[in-house]
Amino acid sequence: MRIGRVIVRAIRNQHNNTSAIPSEEDACQWRQCSKHLKLLNKALLAPDGSLVDQNVCSFNDAEDTKALLKLVPIWITSLEYAIIFAQTSTFFTKQGATLDIKNVSGFKVPAATLQTFIQIAIVIFIPVYDSIIVPISRRLTGKTYGITMLQRIGSGMVFSIISMVTAALVEMKRLATAKDHRLIDLPKVTIPMSIWWLAPQYILCGVADVLTIVELQEFCYDQVPKELRSLGISIYLSIFGIGSFISTFLISTINKTTSEDGQESWFSNNLNRAHLDYFYWLLAGLSALGFTVYLYFARSYIYNRESAI
């Protein structure tokens, strides 16, 4: 209610002139407003240009609204990461189901169990990050946290892009192996290529999760007022929910487009004739573009807390 009231009042008062506030006391209070998102400052004005009753729309209400809206650019640019995150339990597993699942001892490794590499990478990388990377970055930057939350989120995005590039290269290798052994039209026959080829892309996703998922949660919690922290966490969770929907939309659209005129879809049930590699390259490209936009907003982001600077 408070946030909505600020936005509605700001829109209604957008044509009010603030250059000549009637009262000197009001003018002094007006100068205390933060400079970013100045449009929302007009939520404090009455039609005559004076400050409205603080019980209607207070300075705190306006500042809380600004803090919440500042999360929007970071939220939008994090969706690309969420789209990549959705692939680890879908197409990665589908790739693995076509490969040789026997290890040296003859033990069969189900394709879905490779997801444990994500958790293993997280367990290994967290202490490495805390005991090695943070102290080194702390010495280089002179900051308590070493690098900022936004820098950590961005680093995770880079690892996710690398994981997509790795997945695309491995898929190209898988398709080439299927072609060399004349298995293109035999989708149920195991391709003579070890399932461990998929391990690097899972490990890279695990490292990306440590940096991006953890920091997104901390960021959305830390950068909103105390009264809105539950909403901040819901914003964090919505990144992955909306990202999954966007992933589904992309897959449906690409599947429909690439299967026209009797052609094989990128997501054909026969993976030997499909082109998951094209999809991975597309995600890597979109993520690189999203990361560029993220850098722009991250550099211009105004923090609420000194610990995040």
The answer to whether the beta carbons of residues 43 and 80 sit under 8 Å apart is no
C-alpha torsion 80→81→84→90, nearest 10: -110
Reported for 169-176, long-range contacts at CB under 8 A and 24+ positions apart, including other chains, are 169/277, 170/95, 170/197, 170/198, 170/200, 170/201, 171/95, 171/276, 171/277, 171/280, 172/277, 173/197, 174/95, 174/98, 174/99, 175/272, 175/275, 175/277
Q: What is the mean pLDDT of the chain?
A: 81
Q: How many whole angstroms separate alpha carbon 232 and alpha carbon 297? A: 18
Tracing tokens 């070493």 back to the chain, one arrives at 146
Number of CB atoms found within 10 A of residue 95's CB: 25
Residues ≥6 apart with Cβ < 8 Å to 189: 183
* pLDDT for the residue 274: 86
From 25, 22, 65, 63, select the one nearest 46 (Cα to Cα). 22
C-alpha distance from residue 275 to each of 109, 169, 195 (Å): 24, 12, 18
Q: How many whole angstroms separate alpha carbon 193 and alpha carbon 301? A: 47
Mean pLDDT of the 259-277 span: 85
More confident: 250 or 107? 250
Mean pLDDT is highest, among 6-10, 117-121, 300-304, for 117-121
Tracing tokens 């958790």 back to the chain, one arrives at 119
Tracing tokens 């690097």 back to the chain, one arrives at 200
Residues ≥6 apart with Cβ < 8 Å to 154: 291, 294, 295, 298
**Strand-pair partners of 191:** 99
More confident: 25 or 168? 168
Reported confidence tier of residue 164, pLDDT bands at 50, 70, 90: very high
* pLDDT for the residue 281: 94
The answer to whether the beta carbons of residues 249 and 286 sit under 8 Å apart is no
* pLDDT for the residue 249: 92
The answer to whether the beta carbons of residues 111 and 93 sit under 8 Å apart is yes
Q: How many whole angstroms separate alpha carbon 213 and alpha carbon 152? A: 10
Percent of the chain with pLDDT over 90: 23
Reported confidence tier of residue 69, pLDDT bands at 50, 70, 90: confident
Q: Please say if the pLDDT value at position 230 is more than 50.
A: yes
Number of CB atoms found within 10 A of residue 107's CB: 8
* pLDDT for the residue 113: 82
The answer to whether the beta carbons of residues 196 and 65 sit under 8 Å apart is no
Reported confidence tier of residue 141, pLDDT bands at 50, 70, 90: confident
Mean pLDDT of the 147-156 span: 87
Residues ≥6 apart with Cβ < 8 Å to 292: none
Mean pLDDT of the 79-92 span: 87
Q: Please say if the pLDDT value at position 284 is more than 90.
A: yes
Whole-prediction pTM value? 0.83
How do the domains of the chain map onto residue ranges?
2-66, 70-308
Instruction: For domain 70-308, give the fold.
Output: Growth Hormone; Chain: A; (1.20.1250)
Mean pLDDT of the 118-131 span: 88
* pLDDT for the residue 138: 82
Q: Please say if the pLDDT value at position 306 is more than 50.
A: no
The answer to whether the beta carbons of residues 273 and 264 sit under 8 Å apart is yes
Number of CB atoms found within 10 A of residue 230's CB: 10
Mean pLDDT of the 234-244 span: 91
pLDDT (tens digit, 9 = 90+) per residue, 21-66?
Answer: 545 445 445 555 556 666 777 777 766 555 555 556 777 777 778 8
Query: What is the Cα 76 distance to its own chain's centre?
Result: 8
Percent of the chain with pLDDT over 70: 84
